[in-house]
Amino acid sequence: MDFSGVLVGLGNPGPTYDGTRHNCGFAFVEGLLRAVAQDGGDVQEVSGSKFSCRLWRVRSQLLGGIWLAAMPQTYMNLSGQCVQPLLAWHKVSPAQLVVAHDELDIPPGELRFKLGGGNAGHNGLKSITQQLGTPDFYRLRIGIGRPPARGDVSNWVLGRPASDDQAHIDEALERALKVVFAFADKGLDAAVRACKPPKEKTTREKPDKA
Protein backbone atom coordinates (compact mmCIF):
# COMPACT_ATOMS: atom_id res chain seq x y z
CA MET A 1 0.00 0.00 0.00
CA ASP A 2 1.29 3.44 -0.93
CA PHE A 3 1.12 6.00 1.86
CA SER A 4 1.05 9.76 1.39
CA GLY A 5 3.11 10.17 4.54
CA VAL A 6 3.72 9.31 8.17
CA LEU A 7 2.78 11.46 11.16
CA VAL A 8 4.69 10.70 14.35
CA GLY A 9 3.86 12.35 17.67
CA LEU A 10 6.63 12.18 20.24
CA GLY A 11 6.16 11.46 23.94
CA ASN A 12 6.75 8.94 26.70
CA PRO A 13 4.44 5.95 27.16
CA GLY A 14 2.37 5.19 30.23
CA PRO A 15 -0.02 7.11 32.51
CA THR A 16 2.85 8.65 34.50
CA TYR A 17 3.57 10.95 31.55
CA ASP A 18 0.03 11.75 30.43
CA GLY A 19 -0.48 15.48 30.18
CA THR A 20 3.17 16.41 30.54
CA ARG A 21 4.80 19.02 28.33
CA HIS A 22 7.00 16.36 26.72
CA ASN A 23 3.89 14.52 25.51
CA CYS A 24 2.55 17.28 23.26
CA GLY A 25 3.24 15.05 20.27
CA PHE A 26 1.03 12.30 21.66
CA ALA A 27 -1.71 14.86 22.32
CA PHE A 28 -1.45 16.02 18.72
CA VAL A 29 -1.90 12.51 17.31
CA GLU A 30 -4.88 11.90 19.59
CA GLY A 31 -6.47 15.13 18.39
CA LEU A 32 -5.80 14.25 14.77
CA LEU A 33 -7.49 10.87 15.09
CA ARG A 34 -10.56 12.49 16.68
CA ALA A 35 -10.75 15.17 13.99
CA VAL A 36 -10.52 12.67 11.14
CA ALA A 37 -13.17 10.40 12.68
CA GLN A 38 -15.52 13.33 13.28
CA ASP A 39 -15.09 14.39 9.64
CA GLY A 40 -16.16 10.96 8.43
CA GLY A 41 -12.70 9.66 7.62
CA ASP A 42 -11.48 6.15 8.31
CA VAL A 43 -9.25 5.52 11.33
CA GLN A 44 -8.02 1.98 11.95
CA GLU A 45 -5.59 1.00 14.68
CA VAL A 46 -3.21 -1.65 13.35
CA SER A 47 -0.46 -3.63 15.02
CA GLY A 48 2.63 -1.53 15.66
CA SER A 49 4.42 -4.05 17.86
CA LYS A 50 7.02 -4.68 15.16
CA PHE A 51 7.95 -1.00 15.38
CA SER A 52 7.45 -0.48 19.14
CA CYS A 53 4.60 1.97 18.65
CA ARG A 54 0.88 2.47 18.64
CA LEU A 55 -0.05 2.75 14.99
CA TRP A 56 -3.08 3.84 12.98
CA ARG A 57 -3.94 3.80 9.29
CA VAL A 58 -5.76 7.04 8.51
CA ARG A 59 -7.74 7.73 5.34
CA SER A 60 -9.17 11.22 5.09
CA GLN A 61 -10.04 13.93 2.61
CA LEU A 62 -8.49 16.33 5.12
CA LEU A 63 -5.13 14.63 4.51
CA GLY A 64 -5.69 13.96 0.82
CA GLY A 65 -4.97 10.25 0.99
CA ILE A 66 -3.83 7.49 3.33
CA TRP A 67 -1.35 8.25 6.11
CA LEU A 68 0.14 6.37 9.02
CA ALA A 69 -0.03 7.97 12.46
CA ALA A 70 2.24 6.67 15.21
CA MET A 71 3.04 7.19 18.88
CA PRO A 72 6.38 5.53 19.72
CA GLN A 73 6.38 3.40 22.88
CA THR A 74 10.17 3.38 23.16
CA TYR A 75 10.50 6.41 25.47
CA MET A 76 11.57 9.72 24.05
CA ASN A 77 15.33 9.26 23.76
CA LEU A 78 14.90 6.09 21.69
CA SER A 79 12.23 7.39 19.29
CA GLY A 80 14.39 6.65 16.26
CA GLN A 81 14.27 2.93 17.03
CA CYS A 82 10.57 3.15 16.21
CA VAL A 83 10.61 5.65 13.35
CA GLN A 84 13.40 4.19 11.21
CA PRO A 85 12.00 0.64 10.91
CA LEU A 86 8.46 2.02 10.52
CA LEU A 87 9.49 4.04 7.48
CA ALA A 88 11.71 1.30 6.05
CA TRP A 89 9.02 -1.40 6.31
CA HIS A 90 6.37 0.77 4.63
CA LYS A 91 8.83 2.16 2.04
CA VAL A 92 8.26 5.75 3.09
CA SER A 93 11.11 8.25 2.73
CA PRO A 94 12.17 10.74 5.44
CA ALA A 95 10.86 13.49 3.14
CA GLN A 96 7.35 12.11 3.79
CA LEU A 97 7.72 12.18 7.57
CA VAL A 98 6.16 14.78 9.88
CA VAL A 99 7.25 14.68 13.53
CA ALA A 100 5.16 16.59 16.10
CA HIS A 101 7.07 17.49 19.25
CA ASP A 102 7.33 19.90 22.16
CA GLU A 103 9.66 22.88 21.73
CA LEU A 104 11.34 24.74 24.59
CA ASP A 105 12.40 27.71 22.46
CA ILE A 106 8.83 28.63 21.48
CA PRO A 107 6.31 30.18 23.92
CA PRO A 108 3.20 28.16 24.88
CA GLY A 109 0.49 28.62 22.28
CA GLU A 110 2.84 29.16 19.34
CA LEU A 111 3.69 26.77 16.51
CA ARG A 112 6.39 26.42 13.90
CA PHE A 113 6.63 24.10 10.91
CA LYS A 114 9.85 23.45 9.06
CA LEU A 115 11.92 20.98 7.08
CA GLY A 116 15.18 19.79 8.58
CA GLY A 117 17.43 21.72 10.93
CA GLY A 118 19.11 20.98 14.23
CA ASN A 119 17.73 19.15 17.23
CA ALA A 120 18.09 21.98 19.79
CA GLY A 121 18.81 19.44 22.52
CA HIS A 122 15.60 17.47 21.91
CA ASN A 123 16.47 13.83 22.51
CA GLY A 124 13.59 12.49 20.44
CA LEU A 125 14.67 14.44 17.36
CA LYS A 126 18.29 13.49 18.00
CA SER A 127 17.44 9.79 18.05
CA ILE A 128 15.34 10.02 14.88
CA THR A 129 18.06 11.94 13.04
CA GLN A 130 20.70 9.41 14.06
CA GLN A 131 18.64 6.38 13.07
CA LEU A 132 17.47 7.84 9.74
CA GLY A 133 20.91 9.20 8.90
CA THR A 134 19.40 12.55 7.90
CA PRO A 135 17.78 15.58 9.56
CA ASP A 136 15.68 16.23 6.47
CA PHE A 137 12.20 15.44 7.74
CA TYR A 138 9.38 17.83 8.63
CA ARG A 139 8.91 19.07 12.19
CA LEU A 140 5.74 20.44 13.73
CA ARG A 141 7.08 22.34 16.74
CA ILE A 142 4.62 22.91 19.59
CA GLY A 143 5.74 25.61 21.99
CA ILE A 144 5.99 24.87 25.71
CA GLY A 145 8.39 27.68 26.71
CA ARG A 146 11.37 27.43 29.02
CA PRO A 147 11.30 27.08 32.81
CA PRO A 148 11.47 30.37 34.74
CA ALA A 149 14.69 31.57 36.37
CA ARG A 150 16.78 28.99 34.52
CA GLY A 151 15.01 26.12 36.22
CA ASP A 152 15.75 22.47 35.55
CA VAL A 153 14.74 21.55 32.01
CA SER A 154 14.17 17.84 32.72
CA ASN A 155 11.68 18.56 35.48
CA TRP A 156 10.03 21.19 33.29
CA VAL A 157 9.39 19.00 30.25
CA LEU A 158 8.25 16.10 32.42
CA GLY A 159 5.95 18.37 34.43
CA ARG A 160 2.42 19.46 33.69
CA PRO A 161 1.67 23.03 32.60
CA ALA A 162 -0.15 25.53 34.79
CA SER A 163 -3.73 26.19 33.74
CA ASP A 164 -2.93 29.33 31.72
CA ASP A 165 -0.12 27.65 29.78
CA GLN A 166 -2.27 24.56 29.26
CA ALA A 167 -5.02 26.68 27.72
CA HIS A 168 -2.49 28.17 25.28
CA ILE A 169 -1.10 24.74 24.43
CA ASP A 170 -4.60 23.30 23.90
CA GLU A 171 -5.41 26.13 21.49
CA ALA A 172 -2.16 25.53 19.63
CA LEU A 173 -2.90 21.81 19.34
CA GLU A 174 -6.23 22.62 17.70
CA ARG A 175 -4.48 24.95 15.26
CA ALA A 176 -1.80 22.31 14.65
CA LEU A 177 -4.42 20.14 12.96
CA LYS A 178 -5.05 22.89 10.41
CA VAL A 179 -1.30 23.18 9.89
CA VAL A 180 -0.96 19.53 8.96
CA PHE A 181 -4.07 19.58 6.78
CA ALA A 182 -2.66 22.64 4.97
CA PHE A 183 0.65 20.83 4.50
CA ALA A 184 -1.04 17.75 3.07
CA ASP A 185 -3.06 19.92 0.69
CA LYS A 186 -0.64 22.62 -0.44
CA GLY A 187 2.80 21.95 1.02
CA LEU A 188 5.34 23.66 3.25
CA ASP A 189 4.53 27.32 2.61
CA ALA A 190 0.84 26.79 3.37
CA ALA A 191 1.72 24.96 6.60
CA VAL A 192 4.00 27.79 7.70
CA ARG A 193 1.24 30.34 7.11
CA ALA A 194 -1.26 28.21 9.02
CA CYS A 195 0.98 28.31 12.11
CA LYS A 196 0.10 31.95 12.70
CA PRO A 197 -2.73 32.49 15.18
CA PRO A 198 -5.82 34.22 13.80
CA LYS A 199 -5.92 37.95 14.28
CA GLU A 200 -8.26 39.04 17.02
CA LYS A 201 -11.27 40.84 15.67
CA THR A 202 -11.91 44.23 17.16
CA THR A 203 -15.32 45.85 17.16
CA ARG A 204 -15.87 49.53 17.38
CA GLU A 205 -18.77 50.79 19.36
CA LYS A 206 -21.19 52.78 17.31
CA PRO A 207 -21.78 56.28 18.69
CA ASP A 208 -25.19 56.92 20.12
CA LYS A 209 -27.49 58.92 17.89
CA ALA A 210 -28.24 62.40 19.20
Q: How do residues 24-67 score in pLDDT, each as one tens digit?
A: 999 999 999 999 999 999 999 999 999 999 999 999 999 999 99
- In this structure, is residue 40 part of a structural domain? yes
pLDDT band at 200 (very low <50, low <70, confident <90, very high): low
- In this structure, is residue 206 part of a structural domain? no
pLDDT at 204 over 50: no
Mean confidence (pLDDT) of the chain = 94
3-state secondary structure the chain: CCCCEEEEECCCCCHHHCCCHHHHHHHHHHHHHHHHHHCCCEEEEECCHHHCEEEEEEEECCCCEEEEEEEECCCHHHCHHHHHHHHHHCCCCHHHEEEEEEECCCCCCCEEEEECCCCCCCHHHHHHHHHHCCCCCEEEEEECCCCHHHCCHHHHHCCCCCHHHHHHHHHHHHHHHHHHHHHHHHCHHHHHHHCCCCCCCCCCCCCCCC
Q: What's the pLDDT tens digit per position in 154-174?
A: 999 999 999 999 999 999 999
pLDDT at 144 over 60: yes
- pLDDT on residue 1: 76
Q: What's the pLDDT tens digit per position in 62-120?
A: 999 999 999 999 999 999 999 999 999 999 999 999 999 999 999 999 999 999 999 98
> Catalytic residue numbers?
22
d(CA 107, CA 103): 8
Number of domains in the chain: 1
- pLDDT on residue 10: 98
- pLDDT on residue 178: 97
Strand partners, 112: 141
- In this structure, is residue 200 part of a structural domain? no
Pair 179, 111: CB distance under 8 Å: yes
- In this structure, is residue 176 part of a structural domain? yes
d(CA 109, CA 76): 22
The CATH number of the domain where 30 resides is what? Answer: 3.40.50.1470
**Which residue range(s) make up the domain with 72?**
5-194
- pLDDT on residue 203: 44
- In this structure, is residue 128 part of a structural domain? yes
- In this structure, is residue 53 part of a structural domain? yes
pLDDT band at 202 (very low <50, low <70, confident <90, very high): very low
